[in-house]
Each structure stands twice: as structure tokens, then as C-alpha cells.
Amino acid sequence: MSAGSKSSHTKILAEIAIFASLSGVLYSIRPYSNPFGGSVTLGSMVPVMWLSLRRGVRVGFVCGAIFGGIALIIDILLLPYSPIVNPVQVVFEYPIAFGVLGLAGLFHKKTLAPILAGVGISVFIKFLIHFSAGIIFWASTIPQGWNLAVYSAVYNGSFLLPEFIISAILVTILVKRKTLEYPL
């Protein structure tokens, strides 16, 4: 490994740490929270998505997975119940679900339409993971009379749809301010 390559890896690791931390700070600011987890935040997914758009899917996934670990700790501290049902659920809903935010970098372009497509895909796949977890792990929390799949979709959509809208607005602002114009 050359000195330049080592410097580049160090810079990327520093960016991952900074962006995952920024996501964690934004994640702890919650204007709205559901009773069993899932919150509308001040754009906590955007730093991971931005880094993914800047550095690619792999870096974005690593950053998102680290953010997922931070989010787990924040949820343990802030939620009135334990967000842990079993170890598989924890891995599924935190490092994996938050890691897929890195998929925003699939459309590694500097124009708005493909970037928003990446944001939409990453949030939609995150939704699918939480939706599945709702059916598999959280069935006991479903109010009587509700269809399990419908309730999981409504519950998870109630925070991920606003999160998508917030993320899309913030990413649009970042694109219009040309923050994605960078040398790779």
C-alpha cells in the first residue's frame, strides 16, 4: 500500500466516523416517535446517503451499519421499552436496515433525478426490512383486530414516509448547492 493510498483510506475512515456520528446526533432529535420505535428525525439518514453518493455503496453501507449501532444505543437510552426482541432482530433492524441507506450511492451521479432515485430505493428497502421485522418479531405488539401485514406497513410507513420526504428535501438542497461536486 502506497503512502497516498494509506492516506486515502484514513480519510475515508475519518469521513465514515464523522458522518455516522452526525447521523447519530440527528437521530437523537425526534419531533415524533412511535411507541415501539421508529421516529421522525431531523434528517438522520442524510449524512449516510450523502457519504454513499460521495464515496459509493460499500462506504455508505459501512457508515450506515455503524450508524445502526449508534441508533441502537440511542434507542436503548431514549425508548420507554427495550428495542431488543432477540439477537437476530437486532442485527436485522439496526446494522442491516441502517446499512442499506448506503444504497443511495447506486446512482453515483451529480444530477438530482438519479440521486433522488437512490434515496428512494434506500428508504424503500429500509422500509421492507422494518416491515418484515414487524411481521416476524413484533407480532405481539399488533392491536387486536388489525391485519398483521397492514399494521406493519402502516406503522413503519408512519415514520419512514416522513423520513423519506425530509431526506429528499435535504438531499435536493445539497445537490442544488453543488455539495456533491467533489474529486473522487
Rounded average pLDDT over 172-183: 80
Residue 78 is predicted with a pLDDT of 87
How would residue 65 be classed by pLDDT, with cut points 50, 70 and 90? very high
Residue with more model confidence, 14 or 85? 14
3-176 fold:
Arp2/3 complex 21 kDa subunit ARPC3 (1.10.1760)
Residue with more model confidence, 1 or 181? 181
How would residue 81 be classed by pLDDT, with cut points 50, 70 and 90? confident
Residue 109 has pLDDT above 80, yes or no: no
Helices 112-136 and 148-176 pack at an angle, to 10 degrees, of 160
Residue 113 has pLDDT above 50, yes or no: yes
Q: Which amino acid is at 175?
A: V
How would residue 181 be classed by pLDDT, with cut points 50, 70 and 90? low
Residue 110 has pLDDT above 60, yes or no: yes
Residue with more model confidence, 142 or 6? 142
- Contacts within 8 Å (CB) and 24+ apart, 125-128: 125/100, 126/45, 126/97, 126/98, 126/100, 126/101, 126/160, 127/156, 127/157, 127/160
Residue 4 is predicted with a pLDDT of 64
